[in-house]
Amino acid sequence: MSMQALFGQLLVGLINGSFYAMLSLGLAIIFGLLGITNIAQGAFYMLGGFTTWMLFRWAGIGYFWALLLVPVIVGLVGAAIEKTLLRRVYNLDHMYGLLLTFGIMMFIQGMFVYFFATAGRPYAVPPELGGAYNLGFMFLPKYRGWVVLASVVFCFATWFAIEKTSLGRTLRAATENPTLTRAFGVNVPGLMTVGFGIGVALAGAAGVLAAPIYPVSPLMGADLIIVVFAVVVVGGMGSILGSIVTSMMLGLLEGLTKVVYPQGSNMVIFVIMFVVLLIRPAGLFGRER
Amino acid sequence: MTDASVSSPVLAVENVAGHYADSHILHGVSMHVSPGEVVTIVGRNGAGKTTLLRAIMGILTKRSGSIKVFDKETIAFAPERIARLGVGYVPEERGIYATLDVTENLMLPPKVAEGGMSVEQIYQLFPNLRERRKSPGTRLSGGEQQMLAIARVLRTGAKLLLLDEPTEGLAPVIVQQIGATIELMKKQGLTLVLVEQNFRFAARLADRHYVMENGRIVDAIERSQVTARMDAIKSYLGI
Ligand SMILES: Nc1ncnc2c1ncn2[C@@H]1O[C@H](COP(=O)(O)OP(=O)(O)OP(=O)(O)O)[C@@H](O)[C@H]1O
Ligand SMILES: [Mg+2]
């Protein structure tokens, strides 16, 4: 096995980890604030990828504009869904939220399958990010490096917004004690709409980053979300930093497994999930309830 | 301006009923508080004092009757709208956020009116809090948490404050400090509704005491009547 192959797979792992991180970070925010396990997160990722493709195909709007616009569009779609649908299940058992978001996922995916069929659509790497760097021990395609960098920036910006800004302070307070936070004059229902929008916007942004790597298809989020949920189980629901760290770790581990035991690479995260569930059911960074 | 509008109450509770799920807790409660007054609600454990404050705040969602805050009918308002009329709430459980440090706890409630204290003034009033400003809220001692809970509403400019047992379980010297703070608030012209078990403490501060029993206000005792009616008070409170 060559060093080239090893680093190549680690890079793939890091990229997968980046996608896991953005999706599970969004999930953590949504779960914390709304108490809803958003199964539709993968569908919002797909929506991000597809919107990127449509913006280019139908409006000639390129990659970098898409990176700016698509999270906003996906976030607004999410906010509308929160206001019209999710709102109705907050006072019910958690299971209703799970089932509702499952239905939303099926609906979004179904619509895209209906109109676009399941074939993947290619999206060109933007010319500014074409080519590769020769790092000596490996070739690093510029775009792949960009994906890792961009997702780190997205995750860090989100973490910073939550931990260091007044909006984040209010968000944390509303997550911890929504009733009291309302009694201080904070519009918590409005904040929940914003929180859900931000959570799915992260998935949408991941969809933009993915478009030039994976073919854009209505089912691109369906496979990913299964792995992301395993990552969330390992990391523990609700911890922001925990979801980022766990995602990157598991992405790398998956890449490493591809080198040493390729047959096991699709399974390794689930094996780890199994072990973590046995030893620490609340997850590595989760708190026991 | 007529005489009536001058003394128009800051808080007017009229025939309020309140429920938790299936249990009917408040039965036709009426009370009123004029500008600048300090009014206490006293009564035995389980009388419904906390529930009444929660009803005024809009946290108790099953409520009926009339609650006017600064002359606005709030019975159908969500808590955030009531707070924004200029009401500050210091809950019985103190409600300090564990995921926020002391300064963040202090800064959390949005300003609801002009004239609140600055953070610097608050830290002068509670030097302990300044020392602990980077600690997570729930690492504070009980007394520090109570000071923080009070300090938190002083910043917002709220003119009507609801305090639920601010001295519960605290050492005498801290009770004294909180008493001094309440006197200061009164001097600043704030209007206070104080739920208190410690009657000696309450008697020093209050203009009027409402006695609550089984979800009803059964008596109202003016400051001037306290000495004369001490026996009745003792029997109400079982002390
Ligand atoms: N969340 C709740 N659900 C159902 N019943 C409740 C709830 N909270 C309080 N109660 C009941 O409502 C009644 C009044 O309680 P409340 O807390 O208002 O009393 P209190 O006068 O504040 O008592 P204390 O002096 O002990 O604080 C009690 O009988 C209590 O058991
Ligand atoms: Mg009480």
Residue-level pLDDT at B18 = 95
**What is the pLDDT, as a whole number, of residue A50?**
96
Specify the DSSP class assigned to residue A88: G
Beta-carbon contacts of B11 under 8 Å, excluding residues fewer than 6 positions away, are B31, B32, B33, B56, B67, B68, B69, B160, B191, B193
Mean pLDDT of chain B: 92
Closest Cα in chain A to B60: A179
Please give the torsion angle defined by the CA atoms of residues B67, B69, B73 and B74, in that order, rounded to the nearest 10 degrees: -70
Interchain pair A172, B110: CB under 8 A: no
Q: Which one of the ligands is nearest to B29 CA? A: 1
CB spacing of A185 vs B109 below 8 angstroms:
yes
Residue B203 alpha carbon to ligand 1 centre in Å: 24
A188 interfaces chain B, CB cutoff of 8 Å:
yes
Q: Tell me how many domains chain B contains.
A: 1
Predicted pLDDT of residue A285? 85
Chain B residues contacting A via beta carbons under 8 Å:
57-59, 78-80, 82-84, 89, 91, 95, 97-100, 104, 107-110, 112, 152, 156
Q: What is the pLDDT of residue B6?
A: 55
Q: Find residue A1's DSSP bridge partners.
A: none
Q: Contact, B160 vs B34, CB < 8 A?
A: no
pLDDT band at B197 (very low <50, low <70, confident <90, very high): confident
Residue B197, classified by CB atoms within 10 Å of its CB into exposed (0-12), middle (13-18) or buried (19+), is middle
B93-136 pLDDT, tens digit per residue, is: 999 999 999 999 999 999 999 989 999 999 999 999 999 989 99
**What pLDDT shows up at residue A157?**
94
The answer to the question of residue A143 being in a domain is: yes
* CB spacing of A176 vs B78 below 8 angstroms: no
- Using 50, 70 and 90 to split pLDDT, how confident is the model at B1? very low
Please report whether residue A262 resides in a domain. yes
Strand pairing of B87-90 and B72-73? unpaired
A99 SS3 class: helix
Domain span holding position B133: 34-58+86-237
For residue A16, the 8-state DSSP code is H
The answer to whether residue B29 sits within a structural domain is no
Domain assignment of residue A11, yes or no: no
Range of the domain at A120: 16-279
The verdict on residue B72 lying in a domain is: no
State how many domains chain A has: 1
Task: Find the B111 Cα to ligand 2 centroid distance in Å.
Answer: 26
Beta carbon of B196 within 6 Å of any ligand 1 atom:
no
Q: From first to last of its 289 residues, what are the pLDDT tens digits of chain A? A: 677 788 888 999 999 999 999 999 999 999 988 989 999 999 999 999 999 999 999 999 999 999 999 999 999 999 999 999 999 998 888 899 999 999 999 999 999 999 998 888 999 999 999 888 888 878 889 999 999 999 999 999 999 999 999 999 999 999 999 999 999 999 999 999 999 999 999 999 999 999 999 989 999 999 899 999 999 889 887 678 888 999 999 999 999 998 888 888 889 999 999 999 999 888 888 776 5
Please say whether the beta carbons of B144 and B191 come within 8 A. no
Element housing B31 (H / E): strand B23-33
Task: State if residue B51 touches ligand 1 by the CB under 6 angstroms criterion.
Answer: yes
Q: B191-195 and B160-164 as β-strands: parallel, antiparallel, unpaired?
A: parallel
Give the closest ligand to the alpha carbon of residue B52.
Answer: 1
Phi, psi angles (nearest 5°) of residue A123: -135, 125
Residue A8 inside a domain? The answer is no
The structure tokens 């500008």 sit at: B35
Q: Would you say residue B76 lies in a domain?
A: no
- State the distance from the centre of ligand 1 to the C-alpha of A112, rounded, in angstroms: 53
Query: Does residue B66 sit within a domain?
Result: no
Q: What is the CATH number of the domain that holds B129?
A: 3.40.50.300
Residue closest by Cα to atom 1 of ligand 1: B20
Quick one: closest CA in B to A165, which residue?
B104
For residue A5, report the distance from its CA to the centre of ligand 2, in Å: 67
- Residues near A278 by beta carbon (within 8 Å), at least 6 away in sequence: none
Subunit contact B110:A184, Cβ cutoff 8 A? yes
B2 pLDDT more than 70? no
At residue B4 the predicted structure's pLDDT band, cuts being 50, 70 and 90, is very low
Statement: residue B65 has pLDDT above 60: yes
Question: How confident is the model at residue B102, as a pLDDT?
Answer: 95
How many residues appear in chain B?
239
Nearest CA in chain A to B88: A184
